[in-house]
Structure 1
Amino acid sequence: MQKIKVNDDVVVIAGKDKGKTGKVQKLNFKTNTVLVEGVNLVKKAVKPTQENPQGGIFEVERPVHISNVAVVSPKTKKATRVRIEAKDGKNVRVAVACGTVLN
Structure 2
Amino acid sequence: MYDSKNLERLGQLDAGAPQGMDAFWAFDKAAFAEGAIDAKTKQLIALAVAMTTQCPYCLELHTQAARDAGASNEELSETAVVAAAIRAGGAITHATHMFAK
TM tier, smaller? under 0.3
TM-score (norm 2): 0.21
Higher relative contact order (CA 8 A, sep 6+): 2
Higher helix share: 2
TM-score (norm 1): 0.21
Higher strand share: 1
